[in-house]
Chain A
């Protein structure tokens, strides 16, 4: 029951099928990595899970702890516990990180409950320290003028504050230098535990040296073509994606 379960999922964008019969289960408490070449549909999968209106699910199902979530609005999914760290986070001009996160935390409280400001700031500062973020960031507008690394840190800060049940991290490592990567990995590792399932999307195995996954899946052309342990990532690194692509060339032409 306690798992994010994707079954035989097909999804399209602009009438093009990108996800082509994908099945995957992430039990709560585990970290699953998805690796795959550019264009294989990793970000598409992330957006579909989060409920982006431009993507259409044509068949299959996605459930969270036994509950179908495909009929839910993006914000309902989010409040029920799905979090997406975006590959390309958006800017929100004029809205400070502190105010934005405050609104997001408030949105999770039962109606009529008011967020306690001092508790909120105490927690926010704690998480910022963990991610080695300057506190001055709280009064900066969300992602406005942020460097690539700052944007990614900000995504993980939000993850830490919102305490979802399942988190999808879409190439959180891309564009980070090794120091920033360590900080981000450290942040994610500190959130690992029995109450969080993680779907870690990455193009490179480098990230997996710092966030050790319980399982690794390889995605090619909208499907999981191989699943295995941590060493599958190393194998991929060695042989490249072409190895799998060639192997799978035939069935992929469906």
Chain B
């Protein structure tokens, strides 16, 4: 089977879908203390935030790149050339007519509403969803739920915000969490009071604006005792106007008996470095589930984790990664058991197309003194072409006698005979391929909210159309 660059990628590059940038209100390129002063001043942040950011900068500059265990491709990032802050509403004017037809068609195929298309294509800096958002906000607000941007959170709710901010993921956790701590903007702050079960999933999508599509989002979610929340991040639309480095930090706190489900579906342009740190703390009898779908990007490094801090806490990571030609998805999960009777479950599925490369990197840690802990890890890889690549580094350390661990891994390939069989029933080679891929992820996708599973299916179809020669 001959593999070609997916048409989506061709469009993105050949169409060179990046507009000339003429921002008025930005911090310029490069990162120094001046950049941070600029951000703090323009956002009118309190002094403790300036200190927090400055500390982040210091640690960022002091830490080496993690190229010794990760990808050497990281060396291609030129930090001096990056714009670290763009204030909202100051993006250059572009017109819908400038958007390449192919891109418009992609939006259409994905069924993205007209208004959102303009925003996603960078034609409009604001996506006007204020009506939808304020309804949601009012509905959850009655229950005492706080759902705001991170800036508003740190200014207006400092007593809750400061208690947890940077506690799940310390600034010095890794070079990119330090970078985020220095220059973060955008992202959400959510607090759910004790016993409140938020019925509908909250979506960052409801409060989209330029900042939220920024490069250094910071999200902090605290779900108090016995409360429940589902949060959805991202959408399946390709983001044509994002910059090349995306480095978010997401911290979740599930207090006693709380439940959090955090769902991400992201589809990055092929030039993006997506280096994200996501971690949760689960207290006694709390449950945290990360559902994470990564499509596109040049290199994604993301290992959602749960620290199982209280007795009987549960952590789960369900992830799907799709690496097309020239892309590297380095994803996985971290489960740190720190109390008795804690359980964790990791199911990871990856698909490598053409020269795409999918890496599973896991960490499961159960120390010797704990009792009755359980982990289940499953990693399945699907290779589409002969030159596709997958690697698995499970790293499971389970000590002590009363603890159990189960680990399964599989690598399979879509065979030419299978494709022929499906073609004989009238499906094109691309349809056959996407059906096979959908079949591969099917049992996992079934656990996703309906609208995401439908979008994901369409997205896989689009990717496969381009990859079958």
Residues of A within 8 A of B (CB): 50-53, 73-75, 78-79, 83-84, 86, 89-95, 99-101, 103-104, 107-108, 141, 158, 162
Contacts and interface: CB of A to CB of B under 8 A. Distances in A.
Given A75-B429, A103-B431, A141-B439, A93 B412 contact: yes
Given A90-B421, A92-B422, A94-B439, A75 B427 contact: yes
B443 interface: yes
Nearest to B443: A94
A183 to B, nearest CB: 22
Contact of B424 (A84, A94, A141): A84
With a 10 A CB-CB cut-off, give which of A52, A92, A108 has the most chain B CB atoms: A92
Nearest to B441: A94
Given A75-B429, A103-B431, A107-B431, A92 B424 contact: no
B417 A90 contact: yes
A100 B417 contact: no
B424 A74 contact: yes
A73 B441 CA distance: 28
B443 A104 contact: no
Contacts of A51: 423
A73 B131 CA distance: 51
B426 A104 contact: yes
Given A92-B436, A95-B436, 12 more contacts: A74-B424, A75-B426, A75-B428, A75-B432, A78-B426, A84-B424, A92-B418, A93-B412, A93-B440, A94-B440, A141-B439, A162-B425
- What secondary structure prevails in chain B residues at the interface with A? helix
B380 to A, nearest CB: 10
A165 B99 CA distance: 46
B96 interface: no
In the complex, the 4 A-B pairs of residues with the closest C-beta atoms, listed nearest first: A94-B439, A95-B439, A90-B421, A104-B425
Interface of B: 412, 415-418, 420-429, 431-432, 435-436, 438-443
B411 to A, nearest CB: 13
A161 to B, nearest CB: 9
Given A104-B425, A107-B426, A74 B420 contact: yes
Given A93-B439, A103-B431, A107-B431, A73 B423 contact: yes
A99 B445 CA distance: 15
B441 to A, nearest CB: 8
Contacts of B429: 73, 75
A160 to B, nearest CB: 13
Contact of A103 (B417, B421, B435, B441): B435
Nearest to B439: A94
A99 B424 CA distance: 16
B436 A79 contact: no
A89 B420 contact: no
A107 B435 CA distance: 13
Contacts of B412: 93
A147 B140 CA distance: 53
A53 B436 CA distance: 19
A92 B427 contact: no
Contacts of B425: 78, 100-101, 104, 107, 158, 162
A158 B421 CA distance: 12
Contacts of B443: 94
Contacts of A93: 412, 436, 439-440
A139 to B, nearest CB: 11
Contacts of A83: 424
A19 B442 CA distance: 41
Given A93-B412, A94-B438, A141-B439, A104 B427 contact: yes
B47 to A, nearest CB: 55
With a 10 A CB-CB cut-off, give which of B421, B426, B438 has the most chain A CB atoms: B426
B426 A95 contact: no
5 contacts: A74-B420, A90-B420, A93-B439, A104-B427, A107-B427
B420 A52 contact: yes
With a 10 A CB-CB cut-off, give which of B412, B432, B440, B441 has the most chain A CB atoms: B432
A91 B425 CA distance: 14
Contact of A75 (B416, B423, B439): B423
A103 to B, nearest CB: 6
Contacts of B439: 92-95, 141
Nearest to A80: B426
Contact of A53 (B415, B420, B421, B438): B420
Contact of B435 (A50, A86, A100): A100
A123 to B, nearest CB: 16
A79 B422 CA distance: 12
A84 B423 CA distance: 11
A94 to B, nearest CB: 3
Given A75-B426, A104-B426, A95 B421 contact: no
Contacts of B415: 90
A173 B274 CA distance: 55
Contacts of A84: 424
A104 B423 CA distance: 9
Contacts of B417: 90
B157 to A, nearest CB: 45
Contacts of A75: 423-424, 426-429, 432
With a 10 A CB-CB cut-off, give which of A89, A100, A108 has the most chain B CB atoms: A100
Nearest to A93: B439
A90 B418 contact: yes
Contacts of B436: 92-93, 95
A103 B429 CA distance: 13
B381 to A, nearest CB: 13
A226 to B, nearest CB: 29
With a 10 A CB-CB cut-off, give which of B417, B429, B431, B439 has the most chain A CB atoms: B439
Given A78-B424, A90-B421, A95 B438 contact: yes
Nearest to A47: B420
